[in-house]
Amino acid sequence: MKQRTYLPCLEGTGRIRFNMTNDYLFRYILQKHKKVLVGLVCSLLHLKPEEIKSITIMNPINLAEEITGKEFVMDVKVLLNDHTILNLEMQVTNQHNWPERSLSYLCRSFDQLYRGQEYEEALPVHHTAFLNYTLFPEYPEFYAKYELLNIRNFYRYSSKFTLSVVSLNQIELANEEDRASGLDHWAGLFKAETWEEMKMLVKENEYLGEAAKAILEANADWLVRERCIARELAERREKTLERDIRLLKGEVNGLQGENTSLKGENTSLKGENTSLKGEVSGLQDENSSLKEQIEELQARLAERKHNSDSAAGEFKE
C-alpha cells in the first residue's frame, strides 16, 4: 500500500518570515496545536502516539495579550500522562549561561511537592533545550542527554532528573537513533528558511505536516506576526547587550592589564627607592664617620695647641 504524503504547506513559496526558532512562535504553536506537541514529544522520548494518554500545558499564555521581552521565563512546561513533567525551551542567543540557567529551570520544576507529600512522590522532570548554537564547542553533538551519574562507575543516581540539548546547528551529527525518531527532521523544520525546504521535510509524516500547516497559518495571522516581531526586537536587544558586555569586559581586561603593568612599574620604583634609601643610608654612615674623624682631629689639634702654649710659658719663665 502506498504511503500517504502530507504537503499542507503546498501553497507556501519562497522565504518563511517566522519559523519556530522564534520562541513566541514555538510556544504559540505547541500550545495551540496539540497534535504538533504530541509528535514532538514522541520524537524526543521515543514514544508511540498511543502511549500518550494525556498531555497538558502547565504554563499557558494568553495568546491575545501583548507580550514583552521580559515575560518569557521558560517556553513550555508540559505534564505528560499525569506522571512526568517536560520543559521545552527554544534558545537562539548564546548568553553563555545555559548550563546554570537550565539547571535552575530543572530544579524549580522538580521541587513540586506539597506539604505532607513524600519525597518519592516527586514527578520525573525532563528539560529539553533547542539551541541554535553549540553549547560545548569542544564536544559538538546533535542530541545530548545528561543524567546524575556516579563519576567512577557511571551508575545512575536517579532517572527523575534529566537534561537534554538539541543543537539545531549540528543536524548533520544526528545518529541512527535520532534519525529513526525523526528528531533531525523536527530540528530541520524548526529552522527551515523556505517553504520549499519545509515541504521536503514533512513528506510522509503527519505530525511534521501538521506543524508545517500551523507555521503557515501563524505567518498569515497579523496578531501572531506582531508578537513574533516583538520577540525578534527583544532578541536583538539581548544580542546588543551581549555585545556591549563583551566590549566592556574587553575594556576591563585591558584596564586590568594596564593596572598590572603600573603595579609592576610601582614595584620597580619601590625597588629603586629602596636602593636609593640604601645609598643614602650608606652616605649618612660615611658622613658620620667623617664627622667622627674631624672631631678626633680637632681634639688632637686642640691638645697640641694646649701643649704648645704650656711649653711657651715655661720658656718665658
Q: Around 20, how many Cα atoms within 13 Å sit in the side-chain half-sphere?
A: 31
| Sheet of 143-149, strands arranged across | 55-57, 76-80, 84-91, 125-131, 156-167, 143-149
Please give the pLDDT value at position 67.
57
As a whole number, mean pLDDT of residues 101-118 equals: 88
Give the DSSP H/E element, type plus range, for residue 37. helix 34-45
By three-state DSSP, how is residue 182 classified? coil
As a whole number, mean pLDDT of residues 257-284 equals: 78
For 289-302, write each residue's pLDDT tens digit. Answer: 888 888 888 777 77
pLDDT band at 308 (very low <50, low <70, confident <90, very high): low
As a whole number, mean pLDDT of residues 92-118 equals: 88
Please give the pLDDT value at position 243.
73
As a whole number, mean pLDDT of residues 102-119 equals: 88
For 63-88, write each residue's pLDDT tens digit. Answer: 666 555 444 456 899 999 999 999 99
- Which residues, in sequence order, are CB contacts of 125 under 8 Å at separation 6+? 84, 85, 86, 87, 106, 109, 110, 160, 161, 162
Please give the pLDDT value at position 74.
63
As a whole number, mean pLDDT of residues 96-110 equals: 91
Distance between CA 2 and CA 300 in Å, rounded?
132
Between 263 and 157, the higher pLDDT residue: 157
| pLDDT of 315 strictly over 60 | no
> Are the beta carbons of 268 and 126 closer than 8 angstroms?
no
Average predicted confidence (pLDDT) for the chain: 85
pLDDT band at 284 (very low <50, low <70, confident <90, very high): confident
Percentage of residues in the chain having pLDDT higher than 70: 89
As a whole number, mean pLDDT of residues 167-190 equals: 95
Residue keyed to cell 516581531: 229
Please give the pLDDT value at position 129.
96
Between 272 and 84, the higher pLDDT residue: 84
Q: Are β-strands 125-131 and 156-167 bridged in parallel, bridged antiparallel, or unpaired? A: parallel
| pLDDT of 1 strictly over 80 | no
| pLDDT of 180 strictly over 50 | yes
Please give the pLDDT value at position 69.
46
> Are the beta carbons of 42 and 49 closer than 8 angstroms?
yes
Please give the pLDDT value at position 314.
56
**Cα Rg, the chain, nearest whole Å:** 39
Between 151 and 204, the higher pLDDT residue: 151
- Which residues, in sequence order, are CB contacts of 145 under 8 Å at separation 6+? 162, 163, 164
Between 42 and 278, the higher pLDDT residue: 42
As a whole number, mean pLDDT of residues 237-252 equals: 76
Between 229 and 114, the higher pLDDT residue: 229
